[in-house]
């Protein structure tokens, strides 16, 4: 069973904010082959206060039980960093860290323990671009790496086993309105009417926002790629690139590459099978709600 820590900037439930962190968390909770040790909260989609409130409401609305640890705006000692260090020292070489927000908590963990990244099994990130990013002919600003470029640089050049789901590839992970209907249909016998309404309203509002802004009937499920890459890497192409030792464009989230360097990274260029990807997501989320008690084992105090 793989041990996982999810570091995210969840804003599921906040109007006009991304929902993919929340969906990714629901998928991780449903995977019997994963042991979700805890969720560390960072900034990006919203402030730390907004992320903390949204996550507490997310748990309350959906009846979920998982441990959360709050980070800080700058890479200083905080509960999230302390938890990360504690877990990789308890399980050296066994913990996969998924990061889908600002990477401040990971950089703070490295400050607490300079050997931190040498003790992780793998780091999987959603973030970064290779050129200016457009979605359906609309320019999109990179958010995760750009929210804390110093922390992003420290993380991507730490020489940990690393996979990056960049903004270009993850834009292929399209969640259409029909996927919302399929998901809610599978969850209907498993959750309360209030929980169903919460999911329906939140996903519906985000689809409507994307219709206004991007003119398509759905949204890019950016962050979900990290979790499904962990469980089903065969759904992605497996290109490897080399990061340059200097990353001067991370303030806008853009990565700089080299022909050969000490910083290799797996960076898939394409999602190979969107239909299977979406089906796995839907069945995986439903599996989490089908678990007795819908609970995740606590591995520490909030």
User: What is the percent of the chain with per-residue pLDDT over 70, rounded to a whole number?
Assistant: 96
pLDDT of residue 292: 67
Please state the rounded mean pLDDT for residues 147-156.
Answer: 98
Pairing of strands 95-99, 138-140: unpaired
Give residue-wise pLDDT tens across range 160-205.
999 999 999 999 999 999 999 999 999 999 999 999 999 999 999 9
pTM of the model: 0.95
Please state the rounded mean pLDDT for residues 261-266.
Answer: 98
pLDDT of residue 293: 56
Q: Give the lowest-confidence range in 25-29, 74-78, 261-265.
A: 74-78
Give residue-wise pLDDT tens across range 92-112.
999 999 999 999 999 999 999
In order of their start, the domains of the chain are: 2-174+220-294 (3.90.245.10)
pLDDT of residue 295: 39
Give residue-wise pLDDT tens across range 202-259.
999 999 999 999 999 999 999 999 999 999 999 999 999 999 999 999 999 999 999 9
């Amino acid at each position: 069973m793989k041990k996982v820590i999810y570091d995210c900037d969840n804003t599921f439930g906040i109007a006009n904010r991304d929902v993919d962190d929340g969906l990714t968390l629901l998928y991780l909770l449903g995977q019997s082959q994963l042991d979700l040790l805890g969720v560390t909260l960072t900034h990006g989609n919203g402030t730390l206060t907004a992320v903390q409130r949204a996550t507490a409401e997310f748990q309350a609305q959906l009846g979920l039980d998982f441990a959360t640890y709050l980070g800080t705006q700058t890479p200083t000692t905080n509960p999230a960093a302390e938890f990360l260090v504690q877990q990789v020292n308890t399980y050296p070489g066994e913990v996969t860290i998924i990061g889908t927000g600002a990477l401040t908590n990971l950089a703070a963990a490295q400050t607490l323990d300079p050997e931190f990244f040498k003790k992780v099994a793998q780091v999987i990130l959603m973030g970064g671009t290779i050129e200016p990013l457009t979605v359906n002919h609309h320019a999109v600003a990179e958010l995760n790496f750009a929210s804390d470029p110093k922390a992003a640089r420290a993380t991507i050049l730490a020489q940990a086993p690393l996979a990056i789901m960049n903004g270009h590839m993850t834009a292929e992970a399209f969640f259409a309105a029909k996927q919302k209907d399929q998901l809610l249909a599978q969850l209907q016998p498993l959750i309360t009417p209030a929980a169903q309404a919460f999911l329906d309203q939140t996903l519906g509002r985000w689809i409507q926002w994307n219709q206004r802004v991007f003119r398509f009937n759905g949204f890019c499920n950016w962050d979900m790629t990290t979790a499904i890459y962990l469980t089903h890497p065969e759904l992605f192409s497996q290109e490897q690139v080399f990061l340059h030792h200097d990353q001067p464009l991370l303030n806008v989230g853009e990565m700089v590459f080299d022909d050969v360097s000490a910083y290799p990274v797996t960076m898939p260029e394409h999602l190979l099978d969107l239909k299977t990807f979406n089906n796995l997501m839907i069945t995986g989320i439903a599996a989490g709600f089908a678990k007795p008690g819908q609970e995740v084992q606590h591995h520490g105090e909030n």
